[in-house]
Structure 1
């Protein structure tokens, strides 16, 4: 029976290993290089068995090679069991590098925290002088185990010859704690710094959402690597600066910095947000050109990008061509189809997902219910909603209830939607009430909107969107006194309507527009065309009724 973790051996002091060269013969040297060539634990176990049969496992170098390879192949448990065997072997002594590999194995899994601490105790008791590399591995182990920076600092202060890796490990500890002041203070006094030091600080500012400070730090860096560029690009995307992120990516390629899947996934997300189809296609071409590893995360980002940029059939082709589908890839495809109001296809694809043996999750049902809402599939949506907990063991969240309220509301079943909101087992949030008000506006049910007004404004009194939504509801019914009253309330709260923002890609360049903005170089031509379109709408049959009221309400916000 396997123990929960390998039994730690009794203490035995380290000695300098007997002189034995692992490369005394070419055949032996080749044999000892085999573990590093293995691609998975199964192949490594076969090499291990071969070592035992051929009596190769007679030196610390051979043991170290296997311990390190077990760790890097994702089997730290076998690495630690092998270390225990080495420690109890009277004929072979661990050498000065052994504990470095053992601590790396302990850092790979939270199950082995106790084992790692015992290794630390062994190091403290031993009179053997361990190299800086081993102490660095100890610091890394404690960092990954969740130890605070004070513990790392204590280890660093006890080291005879700390190097830049040692200082970077402590710096990373402060960053992971979110202690910006201590991290900056340590960075300023570090005797050595390298690109990792600078990138760690860059990551700290980026994670804190300090985009201006992140940008300044990036510009000051004496040297940048792929991680630095990826961090800066990711910070821009989180801040909503998608165009800047794409510009940085082009600069990154121009100077020959390598690419990784994480950076490309992040950039495709920016293209999706901007609707930058041409740039997304260009990134896709870079993936093919450079023969980068096409994993499920990257495939998901491509599907999401093409779907959000209007190329839903291209997204579907990529989805069908990828074989190792995870649930998040299915969700991206379902969400893309839902966005394009292809509800029937969503339900068919959902059925295929269930038949594939992959278990749907909460996000899956949000995508499917949203598709039913946008496609008017009321019966299908209600059936799937009722099956969530009964058939799939997933308890509906507030987001799922919001989808059903929207489903009923869009279908004109306002009373049923209101009843669901009042009887649902979760307290309704502002989004659910807004969905109900939006349905009332769509179907002219102003009376229910009046009932909801007080509830909505009590829930989110400082959300400008609530006042705009209610004002538009009353404007649809030409209730101008109520429109004025709602806007007066908004003014009393010191709120202003946030202007809408949109973007479009033309010949590979991103053009962003904000309502009421005159900064675009072609603003005269743009507004001239908008005025003609507005006149055309107002002169149409529908424009002669409620669209006139709505147009007047919309224009009033910018007057």
Structure 2
């Protein structure tokens, strides 16, 4: 039997050291795992070619009703494992452990266990609460530093105790001290008599002795320190579970278990573990993350991001490069570019993700020139762009058709030997396409060694853009990627170029042999149905949408409203419009729905209902875009309500909307038709970038009021500025000549229309 005993004695230290290594790995590597999970990139961001940012992976999590900030260290599981391991190594063989063991030898185990656990749970809750109060009085950065020092002190102190202690004598001494306390407690019968009505004397004795022994103990102080910079729930649950495990072992095993465990070994394990906590707190300080909704309202999103930003400033991490990049991305997402730029300027040592986030934000919000200026500044400061940055700045060039800057960026890529993947190739190809340089598009497409579906679709769209229908159809036929996006590209391009019958045939072929329709396909098909007034086709598409489940897609819903409006089915449009308001969350899609409905009322001659809808939009806080305002002005013009039209004009000025040619033409026509030709002429003269639509609108205004001579002069000025008149322009000037008896001028313009413009 002696050899067996020696084997067991030798294996016990090996298991103890293995336990030490395991706990250290949990305490040090746990934060690394949790922090990596909390900082993964959203799938949607990767699709939009955005850089890595500190953001949660799941965007479907909603904001909490209270504080929308998760600021409890590196995560729930990190706090749980840290507190659990800390309690286990510090409580086994501790005073509270021995109290429970000795009381269980004299009294019923269930009562002793319940009393001890009740005291430990109360103490854990109090310690955790105290740990949560401290960061509100002191900066999180300072409490984290204090916790780091405290962990190091505990660790070194326990290692010193392990080095100096004699395990057998110290264990015997501690047991004797606890026995003295238990014997001293036998005489305090007054305390028992007072509370005997509420709980048994054994329960109370176990509760009081455990509570007093735990107060000021190293496990309590460590629990407070953990709760100051880690998740409070994780700390409380982990500490409670650790106390439960240790106390249960004590009650079940009694003094036998306590005598088998060396105090030196426990002190060594505890010291190494606390040193691990100290290193973890120093190298992995608490991060600040947030939970985001999928589509928050702009005002709510801005206030939430500002609250997150203020909390980052409070805890001292606003200038942290990673936290700054995450905040910057959130400001950009909600379109608050002014605050994003201000934060960007405050970030020290800005890295590539910070530059890329802001440049892509300017690109998405149409501020392409500012994005280009920021890119040049990025190069001047010596920050090398990555593929995401280059894709974003190429989109800026495409947005303003700046082919010269696009060529320079393309040349910079070639000179610096940047490895081009297919995404960056497609960005260059798309830039040349949107800049209208078809020969560069064609040449670059044939130079590309690797092409994907996006590459072929860009090339098909380029042929459609220049009206080369045969070339686009040939490319589509030879494309190896005839997926749903390829079908959508060719069908929508044919509709834009006026080849409606050909588009209809392709849709029929797609139903029979092609891929299934997606949301964009249904939107295109509905637009074609409305354009051709094919109500039966629109209803069939509507039935398919209901069967598939696309009826709650905002853009499909707007296409349905537009189709029924163009088919003069306003009752059906109203039903869909009213039902769409139940699930519409995106502000842009909501504005499109209201604008489409208003345009339908105007096209149907129901101008009063259109104006009532406009007032409802204002009362409901729906964003008014230029299309909405144009429809409202047209309704005022058709109804001949000058005063209402002036109020809408004042609303446009107040909102700060610039006058594009369509809005300026509508206002000009509204004033002219309402009898205020002077105001119409004023709008015309103060509008920049006048095109044929605006010139024709003013011509028709003069014709409407019988002003033949001013109409003739305006038409000559139009020709002098190289504006090519259309058929409505000729109708306007010929009508003005007929009203004023200008036969010679009328004959000259008739010959000009017939011989020069066909």
Q: TM-score of the superposition, structure 2-length normalised? A: 0.45
Q: Secondary structure at the match of 1:289?
A: coil
Pair 1:137–1:167, CA change in 2 (3 A): same
Displacement after TM superposition at 1:284 (Å): 1.2
For the Cα contact (< 8 Å) 2:702–2:711, is it kept in 1? no
Pair 1:308–1:172, CA change in 2 (3 A): closer
1:388-418 Cα shifts (integer Å, max 9, x gaps): 32576379955566567667xxxxxxxxx6x
Unmatched tracts of structure 2, length 5 or more: 1-51, 56-282, 288-320, 654-658, 688-693, 716-728
Which position in structure 2 is the counterpart of 1:549? none
Which position in structure 2 is the counterpart of 1:425? 712
Pair 1:397–1:131, CA change in 2 (3 A): closer
Q: Secondary structure at the match of 1:279?
A: helix
1:95-122 Cα shifts (integer Å, max 9, x gaps): 45442333233223234x3222111112
- Asked whether 1:109 is paired with 2:109, we answer no
Which position in structure 2 is the counterpart of 1:318? 613
Distance in 2 (alpha carbons) for counterparts of 1:401 and 1:114: 38
- Asked whether 1:234 is paired with 2:547, we answer no
Deviates more, 1:323-332 or 1:198-207: 323-332
- Asked whether 1:64 is paired with 2:363, we answer no
Distance in 1 (alpha carbons) for counterparts of 2:628 and 2:433: 32
Displacement after TM superposition at 1:326 (Å): 5.4
Which position in structure 2 is the counterpart of 1:366? 669
Which position in structure 1 is the counterpart of 2:490? 201
Displacement after TM superposition at 1:356 (Å): 4.0
Which position in structure 1 is the counterpart of 2:647? 352
Pair 1:188–1:47, CA change in 2 (3 A): same
Pair 1:386–1:206, CA change in 2 (3 A): same
1:299-357 Cα shifts (integer Å, max 9, x gaps): 33322333555755443322113345456544433443554xx54xx111123234446
For the Cα contact (< 8 Å) 2:464–2:497, is it kept in 1? no
Displacement after TM superposition at 1:137 (Å): 0.9
Write the mapping of 1:93-242 to structure 2, written as runs, cut at 5 A: 93-111=384-402, 113-148=403-438, 150-219=439-508, 220=510, 221-242=514-535
Distance in 1 (alpha carbons) for counterparts of 2:374 and 2:672: 52
Which position in structure 1 is the counterpart of 2:347? 51
1:22-66 Cα shifts (integer Å, max 9, x gaps): 9996746544333331222112213312322xx4x24x3444334
Pair 1:93–1:404, CA change in 2 (3 A): closer
1:205-239 Cα shifts (integer Å, max 9, x gaps): 22232323212211313132222222222223233
Backbone CA RMSD of aligned residues: 4.3
Distance in 1 (alpha carbons) for counterparts of 2:538 and 2:701: 33
1:110-144 Cα shifts (integer Å, max 9, x gaps): 34x32221111122233342222111111111111
Pair 1:203–1:268, CA change in 2 (3 A): same
For the Cα contact (< 8 Å) 2:699–2:732, is it kept in 1? no
For the Cα contact (< 8 Å) 1:44–1:69, is it kept in 2? no
Pair 1:279–1:368, CA change in 2 (3 A): farther
Which position in structure 2 is the counterpart of 1:526? none
Which position in structure 1 is the counterpart of 2:338? 42
1:450-487 Cα shifts (integer Å, max 9, x gaps): x9xx99xx99xx9xxxxxxxxxxxxxxxxxxxxxxxxx
Distance in 2 (alpha carbons) for counterparts of 1:21 and 1:300: 36
Pair 1:62–1:167, CA change in 2 (3 A): same
Distance in 2 (alpha carbons) for counterparts of 1:203 and 1:189: 19
For the Cα contact (< 8 Å) 1:226–1:259, is it kept in 2? no
Displacement after TM superposition at 1:288 (Å): 0.5
1:332 corresponds, among 627, 631, 641, to 631
Distance in 1 (alpha carbons) for counterparts of 2:632 and 2:712: 30
Pair 1:183–1:34, CA change in 2 (3 A): same
Write the mapping of 1:421-460 to structure 2, written as runs, cut at 5 A: 424-425=711-712, 429=730
Pair 1:367–1:390, CA change in 2 (3 A): closer
For the Cα contact (< 8 Å) 1:41–1:74, is it kept in 2? no
More contact order relative to length (CA 8 Å, sep ≥ 6): 2
Write the mapping of 1:406-555 to structure 2, written as runs, cut at 5 A: 424-425=711-712, 429=730
Distance in 2 (alpha carbons) for counterparts of 1:160 and 1:69: 31
Unmatched tracts of structure 1, length 5 or more: 1-19, 373-380, 408-416, 440-447, 463-559
Which position in structure 1 is the counterpart of 2:239? none
For the Cα contact (< 8 Å) 1:276–1:309, is it kept in 2? no
Q: TM-score of the superposition, structure 1-length normalised? A: 0.59
Which structure: larger Rg? 2
Deviates more, 1:397-406 or 1:75-84: 397-406
1:512-532 Cα shifts (integer Å, max 9, x gaps): xxxxxxxxxxxxxxxxxxxxx
